[in-house]
Structure 1
Amino acid sequence: MFKVLGSVWALLLGMMLVMIGNGMQATLMGVRGGIEGFGTLQLSIITSAYFLGFLIGSRMTPEMIRRVGHVRVFAALGSFISAGLIAFPVLTDPYSWTAIRVLLGFCLSGVYVTAESWLNNAATNATRGKILSAYMIAQTSGIIAAQGLMNLGDAAGFLLFVVPSILVSLSFAPILLSASPTPAFATDKPMTLRQLYRSSPLASVGMLILGGIFAAQFGMASVYGARAGLSVGQISGFVASIFIGSMICQMPIGWLSDRMDRRWLILGVSVIGAVSTGIGAFLGSDFKTLLVLGLVMGGMASPLYSLFIAYTNDFLEVEDMAAASGGLVFVYGIGAIFGPMVTGQLMEVVGPHGFWLFLAALFTLIAGYAAWRMTRRPSVPVDETGAYVGVSPTGSPVALAAAQEWYVETAGESAAAQPGSPSGSPP
């Protein structure tokens, strides 16, 4: 493992610094927006703007890389990110913040695509799974570390915007000095949404809903905290608990995924998510309670992303997996755009606990739809399902494509090792 990390440590360090910057600005939006007098609905639109930019960037970056190369794309987009972070405390109106968030989403998506393509190029069949796991840990650790840095200064000042800008600027050095330019990668034409739905209705609908859940967690948790009267330290602790929960639960849920009907696991995880968020709507804003609920909520939401991908793969041929992953990312992105806006509208009407009510409703929708789908299609035998691949929802389509590539390689090796297997195709 240490040898594997030694070959990509600079890329992982650079991406962790990027995620610290991204995590800080995401939390700052809710805190500083409240100080500036922005309404909940305005902040929800600003939050959604990030995911709109991210979706556009994931589509356009591959073409940009083909034209000018990885290094130029990464350096240019990174510079825009650093400038955008500094611009927040200077241009303190909702329209400017919305435009900056679209820009940041676009640029961060492009940075992820570029860095992840370097990581994937550095990986081999034997190391791809470990590198993907290390990358997911680096991403999540960066967001968690960002919450600790939120206590370095006053949210009403400039320092908390300068720090992430500096960190993003510093992230260029280890990445650009360690990564050699790679040929522009080929992108697969995404599967149509109709084809994707026919292959896996549960994953298609579930990913759409999950996009709203994750975007609300990532972007609106700080807005909720500010509206509920939490201090900056408490808000950052609450946000950190969500991502700590996602790290803790990823492995045990993945272990269960490979040993039981995935639909039952999706149902169980969604029910736990619905119960935890439902409790949050009625227990008020006690900080210790919020930390526990954040751990459970985050621990259920993030693994669902990987569960839906694994479940989709169970019904696909190997050659269709890359195309399906592109469709799943697109559906997820659409949900992420609308999730914060609906959350903000609900919070305007019923108050801060609308944050929890929205999440509880979405978890319940996933659970209900999973239960209904279990009556419409027989399950895939556990010994015929593919491996669970842990993927972070914060990554780009390249990370998901790399995970699919690892899945195909692993499945092929397993099939080839079986007695009497005529080929290396997945079972």
Structure 2
Amino acid sequence: MPLQEERIPLAALAGIIATVTVFAVAQGLTYPLLSFILERQGTTPGLIGLSAAMTPLGFIISAPLVPAMALRLGGARLAILCSSMAAVALIAIGWTQEVWAWMPLRFLLGFFANPLYVISETWLISITPAARRGRIMGLYSSIVSGGFAIGPLSLGLVGTQGWPPFMIGITAFLFCGLTVLAVVPRLPKMPHEGEPTSVAGFFKLAPLLLFAVFSAAAFEQTVLSMFAVYGAAYGSGEERIASLITCFIAGNAVLQILLGRLAEQVGSGRTMLFCVLAALAGCLLLPLVFNSWLIWPLVVVWGGVSFGIYTQSLIQLAERFTGHALIAGNAAFAFVWGIGGIVGSPATGLTMQLIGHEGLPWSLGLLCCVLAVFLIAARVDKAS
């Protein structure tokens, strides 16, 4: 392959990653911030959970609309519009401070956030050479995960009272739009080749790939929301549990580049299967090592390989699809990520209620088992 085909437009790459990372910081901040405020107001846990579910619901509802909007408005215009509207939604949230008013506003926040992820990942796949795709998609996943982690940490600097924490999120949303505006001339156009494909149509093209994304979302959201309950059953204090969750997120962020490089060496299919089996091993080991020092390296690796399933899914999307199907695929990813985020925690919580706290690793382990069986069956079918 000629050298010029291997060149990466660094300005566009930096602009795309910076845009979605800052957006992730803002989103990572809003979840704990709004929960803290509602808890101070005496809101019931069930209502706090329902309020939080509005954002992934916005992801789900907006996903089928993104391909048509991106092709009609153009990726850059849609990204700038969504960044601006997300800032307006967060201003309204900070202004109202009332749980029922927050329901539609948090829905709108998810509705406007989702297109930015779809567009950014489509841009990133479009400009990334195949030979370096694993590393760059791993870098993207790592930085975005870091952005989500920085959001909650920023609350330690400004607190959760008044407008200061809201201003961080609002500024981040607006900065996204300005970043896109600054790199517009260097951004690729939305791909137009191929037959128009809807999100529903993409489900027929890659059902296993979408199930992998669903599994990654359900796994991550379940650990983040239910690990405190699991740890409390072992008598762990809040500080230790919070530190373990931080290590889980850190592994999520740190290991994606390594997993992306591995995908370049042995293939994204094999690497995804490795991630699934490693996540399953983590589920089996969790009860055995929870009260020992081994829990710390375990949750780091557990976080990395569980989110690695999503990173490998992105790489496979780039390998298999172009044009309209690529945009529809990214939108379908966002749709099933929202479904996984909504379904995973309640299903695991019900299991824990029925069989006890070990329902957490059992539920996640069963999910990994099902995905592993499907992946192995697909490889056998392809080989035959």
TM-score, normalised on structure 1? 0.67
For residue 254 of structure 2, what is the amino acid of its counterpart? I
1:179 corresponds to which of 153, 174, 184? 184
- Per the TM alignment, residue 2 of structure 1 is displaced from its structure 2 partner at its CA by 11
- Per the TM alignment, residue 289 of structure 1 is displaced from its structure 2 partner at its CA by 8.5
Asked whether the 8 Å contact 1:276–1:296 carries over to 2, the reply is no
Q: Aligned equivalents of 2:244 and 2:93: distance in 1?
A: 23
For residue 96 of structure 2, what is the amino acid of its counterpart? L
1:363 corresponds to which of 362, 365, 368? 365
Q: Aligned equivalents of 2:124 and 2:316: distance in 1?
A: 25
- Per the TM alignment, residue 72 of structure 1 is displaced from its structure 2 partner at its CA by 3.4
Q: Aligned equivalents of 2:166 and 2:361: distance in 1?
A: 29
- Paired position in structure 1 for 2:284: 275
Q: Aligned equivalents of 1:137 and 1:34: distance in 2?
A: 31
SS of the residue corresponding to residue 188 of structure 1 reads coil
- Paired position in structure 1 for 2:33: 28
SS of the residue corresponding to residue 171 of structure 2 reads helix
For residue 91 of structure 2, what is the amino acid of its counterpart? I
SS of the residue corresponding to residue 106 of structure 1 reads helix
Q: How does 1:314-325 map to 2 (within 5 A)?
A: 322=326
Q: Aligned equivalents of 1:306 and 1:244: distance in 2?
A: 15
Q: Aligned equivalents of 2:19 and 2:381: distance in 1?
A: 42
Asked whether the 8 Å contact 2:272–2:309 carries over to 1, the reply is no
Q: Aligned equivalents of 2:180 and 2:38: distance in 1?
A: 32
1:75 corresponds to which of 75, 80, 85? 80
Q: Aligned equivalents of 2:317 and 2:182: distance in 1?
A: 38
* Structure (1 or 2) with the greater helix fraction: 2
Q: Aligned equivalents of 2:92 and 2:107: distance in 1?
A: 13
Asked whether the 8 Å contact 2:138–2:258 carries over to 1, the reply is no
CA distance 1:128–1:205, shift in 2 (3 Å)? closer
Asked whether the 8 Å contact 2:252–2:303 carries over to 1, the reply is yes
For residue 140 of structure 1, what is the amino acid of its counterpart? S
Q: Aligned equivalents of 2:173 and 2:75: distance in 1?
A: 17
- Paired position in structure 2 for 1:99: 104
Structure 1 window deviating more from structure 2 (25-34 vs 163-172): it is: 25-34
1:230 corresponds to which of 230, 235, 238? 238
For residue 97 of structure 2, what is the amino acid of its counterpart? T
1:265 corresponds to which of 270, 274, 283? 274
Structure 1 window deviating more from structure 2 (29-38 vs 52-61): it is: 29-38
SS of the residue corresponding to residue 17 of structure 1 reads helix
CA distance 1:105–1:223, shift in 2 (3 Å)? farther
- Per the TM alignment, residue 147 of structure 1 is displaced from its structure 2 partner at its CA by 3.5
2:219 aligned with 1:213:
yes
2:166 aligned with 1:161:
yes
CA distance 1:296–1:58, shift in 2 (3 Å)? same
2:91 aligned with 1:86:
yes
For residue 268 of structure 1, what is the amino acid of its counterpart? L
SS of the residue corresponding to residue 160 of structure 2 reads coil
Deviations 1:82-137 (A, max 9, x none): 23333434433433333222111111111223334444555556666555344333
2:260 aligned with 1:244:
no
CA distance 1:252–1:154, shift in 2 (3 Å)? closer
Asked whether the 8 Å contact 1:346–1:358 carries over to 2, the reply is yes
Q: Aligned equivalents of 1:189 and 1:303: distance in 2?
A: 26
CA distance 1:93–1:193, shift in 2 (3 Å)? same
CA distance 1:344–1:167, shift in 2 (3 Å)? farther
- Per the TM alignment, residue 302 of structure 1 is displaced from its structure 2 partner at its CA by 0.3
- Report sequence identity in percent: 19
Q: Aligned equivalents of 2:251 and 2:261: distance in 1?
A: 16
Structure 2 alignment gaps of length 5 or more? 1-5
Q: Aligned equivalents of 2:169 and 2:177: distance in 1?
A: 13
Deviations 1:135-173 (A, max 9, x none): 333312222322331211332443222212222222322
Q: Aligned equivalents of 2:135 and 2:261: distance in 1?
A: 16
Asked whether the 8 Å contact 2:248–2:302 carries over to 1, the reply is yes
Deviations 1:208-241 (A, max 9, x none): 333322333456678999998736x984x55543
- Per the TM alignment, residue 311 of structure 1 is displaced from its structure 2 partner at its CA by 7.8
Q: Aligned equivalents of 2:378 and 2:67: distance in 1?
A: 38
Q: Aligned equivalents of 2:21 and 2:314: distance in 1?
A: 24
- Cα-Cα RMSD: 4.5
Structure 1 alignment gaps of length 5 or more? 385-427
Asked whether the 8 Å contact 1:273–1:301 carries over to 2, the reply is no
Structure 1 window deviating more from structure 2 (219-228 vs 151-160): it is: 219-228
Asked whether the 8 Å contact 2:63–2:334 carries over to 1, the reply is no
Structure 1 window deviating more from structure 2 (222-231 vs 90-99): it is: 222-231
Asked whether the 8 Å contact 1:26–1:218 carries over to 2, the reply is no
For residue 250 of structure 1, what is the amino acid of its counterpart? Q
Asked whether the 8 Å contact 2:244–2:299 carries over to 1, the reply is yes
Asked whether the 8 Å contact 1:30–1:226 carries over to 2, the reply is no
- Per the TM alignment, residue 363 of structure 1 is displaced from its structure 2 partner at its CA by 2.8
Q: Aligned equivalents of 1:140 and 1:146: distance in 2?
A: 10
